Structure 1
Amino acid sequence: MLTKYHLGERWLGFPRSYRWAAVADRLQSASGVLLGLFLLLHLHFESSILLGKAAFYRVAQVLEGGLFTPSGHGVPLITQLFSLVMLLVLMVHAATALRRFPVQLGQWRALRNHLHLIKHNDSKLWFWQMLTGFLMFFLVPMHLVTMLTNPEIGPHLSAARVYHDNYWLLYGLLLPAVVVHAMLGLYRVAVKWGISFQRHGLLLLAKILMGYLIILGACSLVAYLVIGHSLTLPVTPFTP
């Protein structure tokens, strides 16, 4: 004989737990899209160094609000405030994404078996996104904290940071990790929320963007290294 038992919704955590899961999913996707779009803009702004020191200087001044100051020079405080906002968005994204991170040995074994047996392409993409997200958990805060504590931007100052302060090590690791994570994330968000059902086309676009952005970022990094190598300490800020 089957006996029915009624368990209160408050005791089960339902529907509150499901409501939180839905909110967390939306926060994770929204914050991820915001960070991904910011990355696209950021790498292109940084690549203005490839057009020369004067071009990068003008871009930096505009981004720091130089159009609204009498002298035309930017305000480093804007860089600090924007970096703080991005750090908060990153914290929201990390907090909501860590819910799906395997933390127990049994979960890792189940994931390994799933990847070997099912061989589902999107599951492999999620695995790579998880690994790059783990690296970013350490690398991205280091970059943002640097922008908070040392917000001065310019062809000479940025190049000196990359070359003389050895930040090329950080950026060399961060660039492929953040590009792969962001492009795969945008692809998965588009599929998850039904923005497009053309998985093959979206994945091809994501791979093209990965290659393009990594090459663009690497060229910018090399340009900073070349400029930094030519500088002598103490560094004099660039003026056109």
Structure 2
Amino acid sequence: MTIKTLLPTSSFAGLTGNPWSAKADKIQSATGLLLGCFLLAHLHFESSILLGKDAFYQVVQILEGGMFSESGHGFPLVTKIFSVFILLVVILHAAVALRRFPAQLGQWRALRRHMNGINHKDSHAWFWQLVTGFILFFLAPVHIFTMITNPEIGPHLSAERVYLDNAWLLYALLLPAVVIHAMIGLYRVAIKWGFTANRTGLRKVIKFMIIYLITIGVLSLVSYLFIGAELTTPVQPYVPN
């Protein structure tokens, strides 16, 4: 006698699982890992403004392929193309992640009862990833679309966007949400796929990274505000002496 004879067909199908669900898990983990690594690089590249305008200018030229131009000036088209790629990855990541999003009021109530009744750190982490993911669903595309439509970046041009165009309002909300979401996501990927079994140690690392990344992000944002306050219109791109 097999399990198929003990259970009805519908039960057996639910027990064995849906093959698409396993594929979606892999896609979600892969895209999440890619976006998390991108965020780590992005915030560190952005924080080069803390070393001065010249440092940030040189970083931008390197990332935009300035070494391949006769003038040494990078190609903003590189930023545009890469932004389109990141947007596509974000859309794919969100599409497969939405299947786990509580869509009904009863599901939210059940989640709340679970959170109150069971003091499980990973469940609380998943909840905050859920909340930040909902926030990013609205904020992240705005930032990426801005980089697609206006890919010019640099000490003055970025400061113009932050200060004169009031983009700091968006970034002030986007920064903590994306850092928390990404770091918890990397934690869950590491645990889910067996990269480590030391949950306690990894949680400490993730908490440190959240504080560290938000700190350098806030300091970078403040630097752009100071630079933007000194700009005069029309804003001219920064050129090193």
TM-score normalised by the chain length of structure 1: 0.94
Give the structure 1 partner of residue 155 of structure 2: 155
Per-residue deviation, 1:106: 1.1
Q: Does 1:25 align with 2:20?
A: no
Aligned residue type for 1:196: T
Matches within 5 A, 1:66-85: 66-85=66-85
Task: Output the CA distance in 2 between the equivalents of 1:5 and 1:231.
Answer: 72
Deviations 1:171-220 (A, max 9, x none): 00000000000001100110111110000000000000000000000000
Task: Output the CA distance in 2 between the equivalents of 1:175 and 1:108.
Answer: 26
Where 1:160 maps in the other structure, the secondary structure is helix
Give the structure 1 partner of residue 115 of structure 2: 115
Structure 1 unaligned regions, length at least 5: none
Where 1:79 maps in the other structure, the secondary structure is helix
Identity of aligned residues (%): 63
**Stretches of 4+ aligned residues off by more than 3 angstroms:** 3-9, 12-15
Structure 2 unaligned regions, length at least 5: none
Task: Output the CA distance in 2 between the equivalents of 1:34 and 1:85.
Answer: 11
Aligned residue type for 2:96: T
Q: How many pairs does the alignment contain?
A: 236
Per-residue deviation, 1:13: 8.6
Q: Provide the alpha-carbon RMSD of the alignment.
A: 1.9
Give the structure 2 partner of residue 92 of structure 1: 92
TM-score normalised by the chain length of structure 2: 0.94
Deviations 1:67-92 (A, max 9, x none): 11111111111000000000000011
Task: Output the CA distance in 1 between the equivalents of 2:86 and 2:131.
Answer: 21
Task: Output the CA distance in 2 between the equivalents of 1:114 and 1:14.
Answer: 23
Task: Output the CA distance in 1 between the equivalents of 2:122 and 2:155.
Answer: 41
Q: Does 1:104 align with 2:104?
A: yes
Give the structure 1 partner of residue 238 of structure 2: 238
Aligned residue type for 1:72: G
